[in-house]
Structure 1
Amino acid sequence: MNARHAVWIALLLLPAAAPYAQIDVDEVQVAEARQAFIDRVSAEHGFDRAELTTLLDGATINSRVLELISRPAERVVPWYEYRGIFLNDGRIEAGVQFWKDNAETLEAMAERHGVEPAILVATIGIESLFGTRMGAIPVLDALSTLAFAYPPRSAFFSGELESFLLLSREEGADVLQASGSYAGAMGAGQFIPSSFRAYAVDGDGDGRRDLWGDWDDILASVANYYAVHRWRTAEPVAADASRPSAWSGPEPGGGLELNETVGSLKGLGYEFAADLPEDSPARVFAMERDEDTFEYWVGFSNFYVITRYNRSSKYALAVHQLSEAIRSAYEASVESGQ
């Protein structure tokens, strides 16, 4: 795996000089969890027990990984700050250039999977700054840390570590060479191992699924992820909404499921533009405009699909807004012949 390693985008979401607490690790708990994992995985998948023990004994329990997983940016950064990280001139200009450099592939993948090029470009732009920031933490260390030393999600990350070992065997890759995010996400599209195994595709037919350096594979895989999660071609993602100043209806709650319809939201008094049937699923999201006020957005089916990639309404709205900004700038650039 020939990755271009750099600091993963999530690290940029935290203040550069932010201190972090040293998290105590229960070494006995780690050893017991590691041994139970070795016993299960070697029995279920035929890994050599001695080799697996040596491999996992050599993995580092990384306290920085534990600190980062405890406060992901989607939870701790308000929308008006989160948006500013991704919606800026530099990222938009880089997106336009990326589109130009990969126009043929983007069009081919859009036609094959029914996902608009702008969405693919924006997703790659947010996940890895168009492949320039794909993570510098050894995946084996990140997943071992979270599987064995982070009880709140040990079951989930044990599954991801298992998937990573299986993926490495299936792809003929060296597990010690793969780097990624603090959560074990890899490549330009930042796929966790289970998603890599389930949704990554060989876009150019060369017999490999290279999500680090092969843009045919990368873009095909991101498009396939969205398509499998029921992306609706040419339908809107979201619309900004307003409501009467003397609002007496319910306030938007938490969660991501589409619990209303276009018609029901209009019936409550929300005003927004959407060329969709009245019974189309929808949900209102309140986003921090600043420290004191909110802005309101209605998310539709494609908004929900984006949250399957990253389970955050902030992330989905950032993908939507960045895609619109890049699309507009790209079309203007093409029209002007630049």
Structure 2
Amino acid sequence: MKAIILNEAGGVDNLKFVDIAKPIIKNNEVLVKPISLSINVIDYKVRSNNGALNWILGADRPAIIGWDLSGTIVEVGDAVTDFKIGDAVFGMANFPGKGNAYAEYVAVPSTHLTLKPTNISHQEAASATLAALTAYQALVEKANVKKGDKVLIHAASGGVGHYATQIAKHFGAYVIGTSSAKNREFILQNGADEHIDYTTENFQDIVSDVDFVLDTIGSDTILKSLDITKQGGTIVSITNSNISNEELEKAKSKDINLSFLLVQSSGENMLQLSQLMEKGILKSFVSKIFPFDEMAEAHLYLEKGRTVGKIVVNI
């Protein structure tokens, strides 16, 4: 089978196409033939940075990266009872760890997948994996966002942000999204109640008494967000695993629950997302689709940092 491997971190030239043997599945796994993959910020960070590559995948080389997939099951492990050959499935595979999604066949634990709704495409399904899981785990499992909460989502036009907006609205929250002015209409049409142009406005001058903040940006976003989060509120960062003592002390002084979230593969959560998508409550916005042999171009496009919604790669 064809796969894309990394022998070391670096530029997109380090993404090497090779022919390797198909994976041999374990008893608890299924073999998926992907139709579509989705790529995320973590993909190019792992590809370009040796520290990130070792952190997520370990030291074994060569490595195959990629975690988001939607496709068809072609083999089923002996202990798997919830799927059969021919099922269309989607999910985030093996994260953190060796996702192996940049390949024509991928071995995936069955507990990381769910059935794809018939009313959505493989491209839409592949998109709603790592990014949608991150949003769901942050808003639902970490923060328990509920009706009437005021929610601030930074970079609300991005992969995680556009799902987080829809999920927060589904649970009845008042949603404020930040982005540049050019994405204002997208954010409002996606369900946000209010938009802030971060290029011309300071969000801390506009909003206050926020129940939940989703930090998808990093830098000084946490410190600024602490100023506008109400006592007893929650801030979840998906970018900063090393929360500073200054940030922790400030959060403690306001009784704010501040934490970093590293998303985890979960078929149970994927089922919740699948049900929302089947009902039309949660929708993927796919901004660009690349063929598999243009994976390098897909990485470069995402790395520009101006992507609205998601980028998909078809195999």
TM range (shorter): under 0.3
Higher helix share: 1
Q: TM-score normalised to the size of structure 1? A: 0.26
Max Rg structure: 1
